[in-house]
Amino acid sequence: ISLFLLASLFRKTWKVSLGLVGLLIVSSIVLRGFYPAIVQKYFVEPNEFEREKEFIGYNIASTLQAYDLQDLKLQTVIPDDSILWEDVQNNEETIKNIRLWDYSPLLRTYKQLQEIRTYYDFSNIDIDRYTFNGEYRQVMLSARELDLKGMQNPTWINTRLEFTHGYGIVMNPVNEISGSGLPHLWVRDLPPRSEIDLPITHPQIYFGEKPSSYVFTGTTVKEFDYPMGDSNVRTAYEGTGGVPMGSLFRRVLYAIKFADFKILFSDVFTEKSRINYHQNIQERLLRIAPFLYFDSDPYLIVSDGRLVWMQDAYTAMDNYPYSQPVSLGRNLSINYIRNSVKATVDAYDGTMNFYIVSEEKDPVVATWSRIFPAIFRPLSEMSQELRAHLRYPQDLFNIQSEIYRTYHMTDPNTFYNREDVWDRKPTGDSKEALTAYYVNMRLSDSQKSEFVLISPFQPVTRDNMIAWMAGRSDGENYGELLVYQFPKQKLIYGPSQIEALTNQNPEISAQLSLWSQRGSAVVRGNMTVVPVGKGILYVQPLYLRAQNSELPELKRVITSTGGRVVWGETLEESLMRLLGPDGEKPLPPQPVSSGKIRVPATDGEYRTLQSLAAEAGKYWEEARDALKVSDWEGYGRSMNKLEEVLAEMDGFTEK
């Protein structure tokens, strides 16, 4: 048709041209609209599965390959109906690292207690793990960044020369609370105070998560470092970050670039002056590698005394054959992704490094590294201290979980009928799909605790739990995906079912109603589903926020296993009520008023029930003292002795 149209221009036969255009329009409608619909209705639908079976197989295989799910390790496990106290004792590191603080309540607490001045701000909460005194502990932390919007007197001197950086971090263990229901802060205040061995030699934060600005260092104006009482501590920048501003020519260029002619006429600049801009770490990395996709949550690491941002980066594309696309928002979709790059940014001088995790698994990053060999370095060149903080990225895990909830069905017939689609349902006050969470736990085939990203699955039409996925982060196991699937004939409670049981608990529901009547806002945290031993433990924090207050307090910890739900003021107390010898509420035995019944002691002397009751009370107090210091082994010994005494009392009382 195109050739006939071109020929008609030279012959000036407009009628032929018009007819050809009309024919083109009609054929387009027929071929692109009616014809496919006719084929689908009369040729495909009567025998749809048989005609599409081959291509469904292509779609399943290609999608698993494109999202790096082809090597996922699947195990079928039959969990116990409930966990036992022995499981708690044998998994002490897991219990010690169960997270009781949700990101949102903790961030509000940080802001209320640790911003110190209006020009500081905490952007978000990061989660990581460190080893202190031989203990592998999960922690939450945040950077105290400079926020110029909170400055009361935003003059040019203040915003460009004097207030140039944030300062320090706040850190707390995930499971500890103070007596007032607030987090136990290991690192806090200005100047920083630390209860742990975590030296920070460069606490200044020139590069972070706040929107980019530009500041000058090395001028005649001393920089503000941090407040101390009624005075301020000053400092001078000693790093290599930024661009030298010693020459007049550069001052002219930057005055034009930022439309700020105070740069040109100010007399504060010296030969050591530098300008720092592109201070937002993601913007900074994007300037170097615009072909990479960056994770939404960079996290801060304390390494060799410095604050270093770790940023996960991805290679992605949208034209992988037969693969199912996923939407990333902003009219952007992909159907292939790899977490092939780990980028770091030094918070003090802005130094950037891009480390390739594995070229073998990603030909895309291998191609980019050949194009830009000066940008990328092998992961082996990353320091061991930084490598100890690598983690399975949450954005990638959520994408893989979303894909796998359908594409775990590798049989084309099952896939076509959508017989076994899974879901990730929200818990707590959240309305969105359950977000994966990090835990320190010991997997069934592992001898030690490790940092794992996990997410439970439920059938799409029911609320029971059918499987859970884990992404490993530590050592040689980094990047490995596991799925533990439960047999369909066995009921394993899902998070929403445990919440329903919680709402039906008379003690809990009555207290929640009482708090609400008093004007307090009850905030339910996200439920954590933690495999412990061969059973499942469910933990949900509950926060209370007084009216007209932004400071949430951790008021109760709900725990559940085997369909039983209890709560306590601490995780230890809640577990004690859940797993103690008396079940729902293990209380110390009451003294028996009649001390006339005597039982023989091992030494031949006789003891009364009253003396046995006193002995039981002693073991009870020993158990409580052990709990206060998280001595699970000591608690177990005391509780075992208590059980023996109670059994002895019970036996002789029957006589």
Q: What is the pLDDT of residues 165-179, one digit of tens each?
A: 999 999 999 999 987
Report which listed range, 15-19, 87-91, 315-319, 587-591, is most confident.
315-319
Confidence at residue 189, expressed as pLDDT on a 0 to 100 scale: 94
Same domain, 200 and 273: yes
d(CA 142, CA 106): 10
Share of the chain above pLDDT 70, in %: 86
For residue 528, pLDDT over 80 is answered with: yes
Last residue within a domain, chosen from 279, 307, 335: 279
d(CA 217, CA 270): 10
Q: Summarize the confidence of residues 180-206 as an average pLDDT.
A: 94
Same domain, 254 and 146: yes
Comparing 292-301, 389-398, 597-606, the range with the smallest average pLDDT is 597-606
- Please check whether residue 95 lies inside any domain of the structure: no
d(CA 426, CA 418): 22
Same domain, 164 and 16: no
Q: Name the residue with higher pLDDT: 585 or 256.
A: 256
Confidence at residue 619, expressed as pLDDT on a 0 to 100 scale: 78
Same domain, 38 and 117: no
Q: Are 603 and 593 in contact (CB under 8 A)?
A: no
- Please check whether residue 542 lies inside any domain of the structure: no
- Please check whether residue 343 lies inside any domain of the structure: no
The 10s digit of each residue's pLDDT in 100-156 is 999 999 999 999 999 999 999 999 999 999 999 889 999 999 999 999 998 999 999
- Please check whether residue 24 lies inside any domain of the structure: yes
- Give, as one character, the DSSP assignment of residue 40: I
Same domain, 41 and 106: no
Q: Are 423 and 469 in contact (CB under 8 A)?
A: no
For residue 274, pLDDT over 60 is answered with: yes
d(CA 147, CA 118): 8
C-beta neighbour count of 580 within 10 angstroms: 19
38: amino acid identity, one letter: I
Same domain, 114 and 237: yes
d(CA 138, CA 174): 6
Same domain, 18 and 114: no
Q: Are 653 and 609 in contact (CB under 8 A)?
A: yes
Q: Name the residue with higher pLDDT: 526 or 243.
A: 243
> Phi and psi dihedrals of 448, rounded to 5?
-140, 165
Confidence at residue 8, expressed as pLDDT on a 0 to 100 scale: 59
Comparing 4-8, 37-41, 129-133, 397-401, the range with the smallest average pLDDT is 4-8
Confidence at residue 448, expressed as pLDDT on a 0 to 100 scale: 87
For residue 606, pLDDT over 80 is answered with: no
Q: Name the residue with higher pLDDT: 13 or 34.
A: 34
Q: Summarize the confidence of residues 583-600 as an average pLDDT.
A: 37
Last residue within a domain, chosen from 279, 302, 317: 279
Contacts 24+ apart (CB under 8 A), 585-589: 588/616, 588/617, 588/620, 588/621, 589/613, 589/616, 589/617, 589/620, 589/646, 589/649
The Cα angle at residue 336 between residues 330 and 338, in degrees rounded to 5:
100
Confidence at residue 7, expressed as pLDDT on a 0 to 100 scale: 58
For residue 74, pLDDT over 70 is answered with: yes
Confidence at residue 638, expressed as pLDDT on a 0 to 100 scale: 77
d(CA 192, CA 171): 11
Indicate the number of domains in the chain: 3
Angle between helices 609-628 and 632-654 (to 10 degrees): 160
pLDDT band at 589 (very low <50, low <70, confident <90, very high): very low
pLDDT band at 14 (very low <50, low <70, confident <90, very high): low
Q: Which of 9, 24, 77, 194 is nearest to 467 (CA)?
A: 77
Helices (H), 159-300: 248-257, 262-265, 281-288
For residue 598, pLDDT over 60 is answered with: no
- Please check whether residue 220 lies inside any domain of the structure: yes
For residue 597, pLDDT over 60 is answered with: no
Helices (H), 272-359: 281-288
pLDDT band at 591 (very low <50, low <70, confident <90, very high): very low
Comparing 183-192, 384-393, 548-557, the range with the smallest average pLDDT is 548-557
**How high does pLDDT run on average in the chain?**
87
Confidence at residue 654, expressed as pLDDT on a 0 to 100 scale: 46
Q: Summarize the confidence of residues 570-591 as an average pLDDT.
A: 66
Burial 154-171 (b: 16+ CB within 10 A, else e): eeeebbbbbbbbbbbbbb
Share of the chain above pLDDT 90, in %: 65
Same domain, 124 and 265: yes
Q: Which of 271, 325, 278, 298 is nearest to 128 (CA)?
A: 298
- Please check whether residue 263 lies inside any domain of the structure: yes
The 10s digit of each residue's pLDDT in 457-467 is 999 989 999 99
Q: Summarize the confidence of residues 18-24 as an average pLDDT.
A: 67
Report which listed range, 462-476, 514-528, 639-653, is most confident.
462-476
Q: Name the residue with higher pLDDT: 360 or 581.
A: 360
Same domain, 227 and 109: yes
Confidence at residue 629, expressed as pLDDT on a 0 to 100 scale: 63
Q: Summarize the confidence of residues 12-16 as an average pLDDT.
A: 60
Assess whether the previous peptide bond of 191 is cis (omega < 30° from 0).
yes
Comparing 286-295, 299-308, 520-529, the range with the smallest average pLDDT is 520-529
Q: Name the residue with higher pLDDT: 446 or 217.
A: 217
Confidence at residue 259, expressed as pLDDT on a 0 to 100 scale: 95
Q: Are 522 and 515 in contact (CB under 8 A)?
A: yes
For residue 655, pLDDT over 50 is answered with: no
Same domain, 155 and 32: no
Q: Summarize the confidence of residues 588-599 as an average pLDDT.
A: 34
pLDDT band at 51 (very low <50, low <70, confident <90, very high): confident
Same domain, 257 and 135: yes
For residue 199, pLDDT over 50 is answered with: yes
Domain that holds residue 630: 588-655
For residue 18, pLDDT over 80 is answered with: no
Last residue within a domain, chosen from 250, 279, 308: 279
Q: Which of 237, 205, 353 is nearest to 284 (CA)?
A: 353
- Please check whether residue 600 lies inside any domain of the structure: yes
Same domain, 42 and 104: no
Confidence at residue 581, expressed as pLDDT on a 0 to 100 scale: 62
Report which listed range, 10-24, 305-319, 566-580, 631-645, is most confident.
305-319
Contacts 24+ apart (CB under 8 A), 261-268: 262/156, 262/160, 267/220, 268/161, 268/216, 268/219, 268/220, 268/221
- Please check whether residue 43 lies inside any domain of the structure: yes
Confidence at residue 605, expressed as pLDDT on a 0 to 100 scale: 38
Q: Which two tokens stand for residue 223?
A: 């920089």
Confidence at residue 224, expressed as pLDDT on a 0 to 100 scale: 97
Give the HSE-up count for residue 465: Cα atoms under 13 Å, Cβ half-sphere: 32
Helices (H), 331-419: 363-371, 384-387, 394-407, 412-417
For residue 512, pLDDT over 80 is answered with: yes
Report which listed range, 230-234, 347-351, 636-640, is most confident.
347-351
For residue 454, pLDDT over 80 is answered with: yes
